[in-house]
């Protein structure tokens, strides 16, 4: 049973109302603070965040007349260009290092012999060379790879060529051709030993971007229409490939200080 309320208990009196002038000043101060917060948010979005976002996503001038496919040393169509990165050479190298990819060795008699031994005997060679492909009549500037298994018979790899043009912030564009080496075989054009690629070059393109993103090396990514809705072709080793026709562009983050 609830206790009977005490009729003599003190009832708290309401807080005294502020004088009209003080109440007006308080409302004015609160309104000005709210207005200042809105103005600051607008300035941050309109003059900092939005320009940075659109500057990062503005098509790089190096894409205007960029080739869509690489060439072999014999001038035969090679692997398709399917991704691009915007950033300095230092940022490019640091990004793949952070993502766990290895820089490919140049082709020399020594590295070619080591490569053949690694493939035939199943030995690891994390920095195995890749064959030369050409854009703008020059071979790749950099190539990176990750082996699948012990030997370089099967590996994820990507080549990059630096475009001659810089963007408004002085950053170069790196056009890339990413493919997965599924096996070693004979090149039908030269009868030389070569790697054969998997047809799904989009999967390899997306793997590269995903690895860089997971390592925190990208500040933005976007897709650009590149070669139409779908493109089916064959590379220099006569391996078939298919792509959705989009170029994926990643904007590299500055390397973190160690």
> 162 and 132 in one domain?
yes
In this structure, the answer to whether residues 52 and 79 fall within a common structural domain is: no
Inform me whether the pLDDT recorded for 212 exceeds 90. Answer: yes
Residue 1 resides in a domain: no
- 44 and 75 in a single domain? The answer is no
Does 34 fall in a domain? yes
pLDDT computed for residue 196 by the predictor:
87
How many domains is the chain built from?
2
Q: Is residue 228 part of a domain?
A: yes
Is the pLDDT at 219 greater than 90? The verdict is yes
Q: Are residues 44 and 110 in the same domain?
A: no
Residue 110 within any structural domain of the chain: yes
Q: Are residues 180 and 244 in the same domain?
A: yes
Assign 3-state DSSP to the chain and report helix, strand, coil percentages, each to 5.
30, 30, 40
Q: Which range, of 33-42, 49-58, 85-94, 223-232, averages the lowest pLDDT? A: 49-58
> In the predicted model, is pLDDT for residue 95 greater than 90?
yes
* Percent of residues, the chain, with pLDDT higher than 90: 50
- Do 45 and 168 lie in a common domain? no
* Neighbouring C-alpha atoms within 13 Å toward the C-beta of 16: 4
Q: Are residues 200 and 181 in the same domain?
A: yes
Decide: pTM greater than 0.85: no
Range of the domain at 46: 18-57
Residues 83 and 48 in one domain: no
Instruction: Confirm whether 8 is domain-assigned.
Output: no
pLDDT reported for residue 48: 53
**Does residue 257 lie in a domain region?**
no
Q: Same structural domain for residues 47 and 130?
A: no
Percent of the chain with pLDDT strictly greater than 70: 81
Q: Does any domain span residue 11?
A: no
Residue 96: enclosing H or E segment and its boundaries?
helix 89-98
Looking at residue 42, the DSSP 8-state letter turns out to be H
Co-location of 107 and 50 in the same domain: no
What is the reported pLDDT for 58?
67
Tell me the mean pLDDT in the region 212-241. 91
pLDDT digit string (tens) for 168-206?
889 999 999 999 998 765 454 443 456 789 999 999 999
Q: Around Cβ 84, how many Cβ atoms within 10 Å?
A: 24
């Amino acid at each position: 049973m609830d206790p009977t309320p005490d009729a003599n208990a003190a009832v708290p009196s309401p807080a005294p109302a502020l004088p009209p002038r003080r109440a007006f000043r308080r409302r004015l101060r609160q309104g000005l603070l709210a207005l200042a917060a809105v103005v600051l948010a607008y300035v941050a979005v309109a003059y900092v965040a939005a320009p940075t976002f659109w500057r990062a996503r503005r098509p790089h001038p190096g894409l205007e007349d960029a080739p869509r496919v690489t060439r072999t040393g014999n001038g035969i169509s090679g692997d398709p260009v399917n991704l691009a990165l915007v950033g300095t050479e230092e940022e490019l190298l640091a990004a793949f290092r952070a993502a766990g990819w290895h820089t490919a060795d140049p082709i020399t008699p020594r590295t070619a012999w080591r490569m053949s031994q690694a493939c035939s005997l199943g030995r690891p060679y994390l920095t195995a060379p890749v064959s030369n492909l050409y854009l703008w009549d020059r071979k790749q500037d950099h190539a990176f790879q990750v082996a699948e298994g012990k030997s370089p018979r099967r590996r994820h790899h990507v080549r990059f060529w630096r475009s001659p043009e810089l963007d408004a912030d002085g950053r170069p564009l790196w056009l890339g051709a990413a493919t997965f080496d599924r096996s070693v075989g004979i090149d039908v054009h030269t009868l030389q030993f070569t790697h054969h690629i998997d047809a799904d070059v989009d999967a390899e393109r997306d793997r590269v971007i995903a690895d860089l993103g997971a390592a925190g090396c990208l500040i933005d990514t976007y897709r650009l229409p590149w070669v139409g809705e779908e493109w089916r072709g064959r590379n220099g080793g006569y391996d078939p490939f298919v792509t959705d026709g989009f170029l994926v562009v990643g904007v590299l983050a500055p390397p973190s200080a160690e």
